[in-house]
Structures are given as C-alpha cells and as structure tokens.
Structure 1
Amino acid sequence: MTKKLWFQVGVGILLAILIIKYFMEISFIFAPVIIIIKAIILPLLLGGVLYYMTEPIQRFLEDRNIPRWGSILFILVGLVVVLGIFISIIGPQVTKQVNNLVDNAPTLARDFDVIKDKLLRQKEDLPENLQKSIDSAADSLQTIAVNFSKWIVQFLQSFFQAIFLLVLVPFFFIFMLKDHEKFAPLIYNFFSGERRDWVKKTLSDIDNVLRSYIQGQFLISAILAALIFIGYLILGLQYALLLAIFALFMNLVPFIGPWIAVAPALIIAYMDSPKLVIGVAIVTLVAQQIDSNLITPNVMGKSLDIHPLTVITIILAAGNIAGFVGIIVGVPVYAVGKVIVRNIYEQRRKIKHAATKNVSG
C-alpha cells in the first residue's frame, strides 16, 4: 500500500499541513526574515515583469552581435525615452480629466443616489420572489464591492510603502538582464544524472510559462485598452482616457478584470444619457469578442491551458488570502505549480515505464 500513488500523496499532504502548523507556531522566530522578504518582494516582482517585457528586445539585439552591455544600455535608454514621451503626451490629458472628475464628483454622487433610489422604488412593484433575488444579488454585489475596496486599499498601502524601495527595481532589472542565463544553472547544478535533467527541464518550462503569461497579458491589456479608448472616443464618453487607463490595469486580472473595468464606464454613461449605456455595452462586447476570438488565442495560444472556471476560483481564493496582490499573481503562481506537478507526474510515469520494461525484459 505504501507504494500506491494515492497513499504517497496523502502522506505528503499531511506532512505539508503539519509543517505549516508548526511553522505558524514558531513564526515569530522568522519575523526578521519575513520583514526582509516583504521589503524586497514588490521590487523583485516589478524587476521580473520588466525583464520578461524587454527580454525579446535584448534577444533581438544580441542575435545581431550587439554585446550584452550594449543591449542593456539600449533597453534602459529606450524605457526612459518611452516613459518621457508617454508622460508628455498622456500626462496633461490625464491631469485635465482627473481635475474634471474631482470637480464633478459631488454631482456624480448625487446622480448615483437618485438612480439607486429610483431602482429601489421600482423594485417594490415586482413579485416577492424577484424582490428577494434582487436583494440577494445586491448583497452579493455589496460584499464584492467591499472586498474589492479592501483589496484596492491594501494595494495602495503596499504601493506607497514600496515607493521608498523602488530604487531596488532597476537593480533587480539590470541584474536579470545581465545574468539571467546563470539563474537556472545555480539550481540544477546541485543535482546529477536524470534528476538534474528533470530540474533543468522544469525550470525551463517555468520560465516559458512566466514569459508567455507576462508578455501575453500585457500585450492583450494594451490592445484591449486601445480598442476601448477608441470606442469611448467615438461615443463621446466623458473621461475616456481615464477609463481606458483603468481598463488597461484591470485587464491584467484574467477573466474578471475586463468586467470590473466596464463598471465605472457604465455608471458614467448612464448619468450622462441612458442611451449611452447601450453604446458602452456594445463597445465592451465587441472588444471582448475580438479578445476572445482573435487576440488571446494568437497571443497566449495553449501556453497556460487553464479553464475559465479554474481562473475564477484561483482569483477569488488568492484575493481572500493575499488581497489585490494575490489577484494579480494568483494565476501565474498556479500556472507554475501546474508545470511542476505535470513534470513530476511525467517523471514518475517515465520511471514506472522503465521499471516495467526492465521486469518484462
């Protein structure tokens, strides 16, 4: 029985639970280490994202015999130039729309209360069962809104706390560009034989998954934000640029991000003209269909192969565990874990097949 896979998995889960339990009981011993990890985790993540976003440029340059230092310098100068152009072009428009939004905030709040009261009055004319369904849906939406607000606050707190540590981002970024080929050998060189080959393959698969996810998700978000911005401009929707920028960041959250991004656009459209809501809904639907049928299949392909229901479950669980940061990193962490588990399964099957072949031979 001890050789059965289900028994070994069960024992492994029990051991993991015991390790976590006893670790939590003596966690105060590791408090300094946890503080250090929390201090560097955000700069490390941002440096890693920048690396995966610019690695294709570095590879392109070095394939044309440009030295490593030259490719790094080109990327750094290019990032500064792009950021400067972006700020000079987008900055004034964003500032103008933010000021308009702040000035109109009291009016928007009053309009929103009027809409809410109107909907509540109309609800009383509906059948009792439908009223209960609406109340239940409203409670669910309120819970989601409260949790999302908490996630946003946690994210902003972490962000402002990390502002002082952002000087580490260029350090991690440059270090990754300079020595990224050395990271994997530092790990798999501790092993030998077939185990070394397995660790090497697993690290390579993890690298490919992270590269595909980060590059693909940012590209998809940028394309969707551009489509939404163009659509909102055609409709004449207020704060089109702000809403598109909000959509750019929300689209980084897989599956549910685009639906979160459209919520403020629908509210602003309804306060301006109820007919405009139909236009915003059409723009969103067209953008989502283009994304689902053209952009995502060609950008992501089958690199992740995660079912949408699994994505929703991961996002909800990660949000409850680690807040807004958990929502962002939940899917790639799951993808990495899936790669590791799949490689373990393939290795076990390979060993079992070899053992069976030797016995039959």
Structure 2
Amino acid sequence: MMQKRWFQTLIVLILVFLLILLVKAADFIFDPIFQYVGAVAFPIIGAGLLFYITRPLMHLLEKLRLHRILAITGVFVLLIVALFIVARYIFPILQNQFSTLINNIPGWISAVEDLIDYWQDNQNSIPPEVNETINNITSNLQSYIESTMSFIFGFIGEFISIIFALVLIPFFLFFMLKDGEKFVPFITQFLEKKKADNISTLLYKIDEALTSYIQGQLLVALCIGVLLYAGYSIIGLKYALTLAIFGMIICVIPFIGPYLAVTPAIIVGFFQDPLMPVWVAIVMIVAQQIEGNLVSPNVMGKALHLHPLTVITVVLAAGSIGGLLGMLFAIPLYAVVKTIISHFYQTYQKAQKDGEDALI
C-alpha cells in the first residue's frame, strides 16, 4: 500500500493539515513574524509593481549605452516628472470634480425620494409589504449611497496616498532594478546543478507570467481610461475626468471591472439627463470593443492561458474573501500558483518518462 500513489498523496495531505494545525497552535511564535512580513509586504508589492512597469524603460536606456545606475536615475527622474504632472495639473481637477460630486449627492437623493413618493401616491394597488420595503430603502438611501461612494473613493485615495507616501518603495525599487538579475543565481547557488536549473526555469516562468499580466493589464487599463475620458467628454458627461480615472482603476479587475466602472457614470448621467445613461453605456461598449479586439490581443495575448470561466470564478472567490484588494491580486496570484503546479507536474512527468526509458 505504501507504493500506491493515492496513499502517498493522502499522507502528504494529512501532513500538510497537521503542519497548518501546528502553526495555528503556535501562533504566539508566528504572530511577530507575520506582523513583520505585513509591515514590509506592502512596500515590496508597490515596488514590485513599479519594477515590472519601469524595467523595460531601464533596459531601453541601457540599450542607449547608459550605465545601469544612470539608467535607473533616468527612470526615477521620469517617475518624479510624472508625479509632478499629476499633482500639478490632474489632481486639482480631480479634487474639484470630486468635491462637487459629493456636494450634489444629497440633491440627487432628494430627487429620488420625491420620485418614489410621487409613484407611491399614484399607485393604489401596491401591497403593504412592497410599500414598507420601498420606505425602508428610501429612508436609508442616502446612507447607502454615501457609504458606497465613500468606500470606493476613500479606498482609491487611501491606496494612492499610501503608494506614494511610503518612503521604502523607492529604495526597494532601486535595488530591484539594480540587482534584479542576481536574484535567481543567488537562490540557486546552494543547489546542485540539476535542481538549480529546474528552479531557475520555474522562477523565469513566474517572472514571465507576472510581466505579461502586470504590464499588459496596466496598459489595457490606461487605454480604457483614455477612451472613457474621450467618450465622456464627447457626450458631455459631468465629472468626466474623475469617472474615467475611476473606470481606469477598476478595469484592472478582469471581467467584473468594466461593470463596476460604468455604474457610477450611469448614476451620474441619469441625474444629468435621463438619456445620458444610454450614451454612457454606448461609450463603455465602444471602449470595451476597442480594448477587447485591438488592445488586449496585441498587449496581453494568451500569455497566462487562463479560461474566462476560471478567471470569473477566481475573482468572485477572492472578492468574497479579500474584498476589492482580493479581486486586484487574485489573477496574478493564481497565475503564479498555476505556473508552479504546472512546472512541477511537467518535471514529474519527465522524470517518470526518463525512469521508464532507463528501465527499458
């Protein structure tokens, strides 16, 4: 029985669950470690995102025969210039539009309440239960909308402020750009050649998967933001820049992102003009068609080899567990896990085949 594969798998699963149980029982030992990891995880993640975004630029500057330190300096200069442009020209417009949007919410809520009251007064056949439900929703409508809007925009504001406020991110980014190629040799130097080659191949596959997803998804989101801003401006939608940037950020979430991105624009458009939501929907559809048929196939292609149903399932599951952050990081994490499992499975199959050939 010990030679049966199913029995060996069962033993491994039992040992894994026992290890998890022991870690949970000894949480007083691991809590300080988890707190330390949590303290540095966010700067490392932020620097890692910037690393995958700016690494092609650093290689481009190196091709122009600049020393790596000078190339990294050029990257940092461009990042500072980009931040200055955002802070000087874009952020004041966003702040003004966002403040106006928040100030208009009470008036919109009053209009909705008046519309519901008018509809109730002219409907005599509504069951009491329906009336009670409508009254309950109406009485709490303002709190629902304000809490939702404050969560969405508060998250975005907090996320952006933390990303650019943490002092550790530039330091992590500098050393990632400077010594990124030394990571794999450093990890594999302690292993024998066959295992070192195997781990090196795995790490390069993971790097390729993350590069394809992060660079591709961010470029796709940028294209969506530009298309939405152009479309919103053409149809005359108010707060076009704020809603376009919100759509650009939320569109990073695969499949679900576009539906979440267009919701605030439809609500704002409804109070501006009853026909405006139709135009907003048309703008989103056109932007999605351009992105889906022209941008994504050429930028991302099928590098991750993920089925759409798998992506939807993973995003929904991650959202129920980790909220919006879970949705943002679900697909790259899943891609890494899939790459690891696929690599070791292929390694196992190759070893089995070599063993059979050797026996023959």
Relative to the length of structure 2, the TM-score reads 0.86
Q: Which residue of 2 aligns with 1:226?
A: 226
Q: Which residue of 2 aligns with 1:340?
A: 340
Instruction: Give the C-alpha shift of residue 37 in structure 1.
Output: 1.0
Matched letter for residue 348 of structure 1: Y
> Which SS does the other structure have where 2:65 is aligned?
coil
CA contact (8 A) 1:221 1:252 kept: yes
Q: Which residue of 2 aligns with 1:174?
A: 174
- CA displacement, residues 281-325 of structure 1 (integer Å, 9 cap, x when unaligned): 111111112222221111111111112221122122222333332
- Which aligned pairs between 1:181-330 and structure 2 lie closer than 5 A? 181-330=181-330
Instruction: Give the C-alpha shift of residue 154 in structure 1.
Output: 9.8
Instruction: Give the C-alpha shift of residue 32 in structure 1.
Output: 1.2
Question: Cα–Cα, structure 1 residues 121 and 156, in superposed 2: closer, same or farther, change >3 Å?
Answer: farther
**Separation in 2, partners of 1:70, 1:86:** 24
Equivalent pairs: percent with the same residue? 38
Question: Cα–Cα, structure 1 residues 306 and 55, in superposed 2: closer, same or farther, change >3 Å?
Answer: same
Instruction: Give the C-alpha shift of residue 337 in structure 1.
Output: 0.4
Question: Cα–Cα, structure 1 residues 288 and 112, in superposed 2: closer, same or farther, change >3 Å?
Answer: farther
Instruction: Give the C-alpha shift of residue 81 in structure 1.
Output: 0.8
- CA displacement, residues 65-106 of structure 1 (integer Å, 9 cap, x when unaligned): 210110010000111112212322212321221221132121
Greater length-normalized contact order (CA 8 Å, ≥ 6 residues apart): 1
- Which aligned pairs between 1:70-109 and structure 2 lie closer than 5 A? 70-109=70-109
**Separation in 2, partners of 1:153, 1:244:** 13
Question: Cα–Cα, structure 1 residues 163 and 265, in superposed 2: closer, same or farther, change >3 Å?
Answer: closer
- CA displacement, residues 33-62 of structure 1 (integer Å, 9 cap, x when unaligned): 111111111111000000100000111111
CA contact (8 A) 1:155 1:324 kept: no
**Separation in 1, partners of 2:245, 2:284:** 15
- CA displacement, residues 162-219 of structure 1 (integer Å, 9 cap, x when unaligned): 5797111111111101110111112122211322111000000000111111101100
Q: Which residue of 1 aligns with 2:38?
A: 38
Instruction: Give the C-alpha shift of residue 235 in structure 1.
Output: 0.7
Q: Which moved more, 1:233-242 or 1:86-95?
A: 86-95
**Separation in 2, partners of 1:305, 1:150:** 36
CA contact (8 A) 1:39 1:165 kept: no
Q: Which moved more, 1:151-160 or 1:99-108?
A: 151-160
How many pairs are equivalent? 349
Matched letter for residue 284 of structure 2: T
- CA displacement, residues 311-355 of structure 1 (integer Å, 9 cap, x when unaligned): 122122222333332221111010000000110111011111111
> Which SS does the other structure have where 2:341 is aligned?
helix
CA contact (8 A) 1:151 1:319 kept: no
CA contact (8 A) 2:46 2:163 kept: no
Instruction: Give the C-alpha shift of residue 9 in structure 1.
Output: 3.6
Return 5+ residue gaps in structure 2 as ranges: none
Q: Which moved more, 1:348-357 or 1:148-157?
A: 148-157
Question: Cα–Cα, structure 1 residues 15 and 280, in superposed 2: closer, same or farther, change >3 Å?
Answer: same
**Separation in 2, partners of 1:151, 1:188:** 44
Instruction: Give the C-alpha shift of residue 117 in structure 1.
Output: 6.6
Matched letter for residue 24 of structure 1: K
Relative to the length of structure 1, the TM-score reads 0.86
Q: Which residue of 1 aligns with 2:58?
A: 58
**Separation in 2, partners of 1:343, 1:64:** 36
Question: Cα–Cα, structure 1 residues 116 and 173, in superposed 2: closer, same or farther, change >3 Å?
Answer: farther
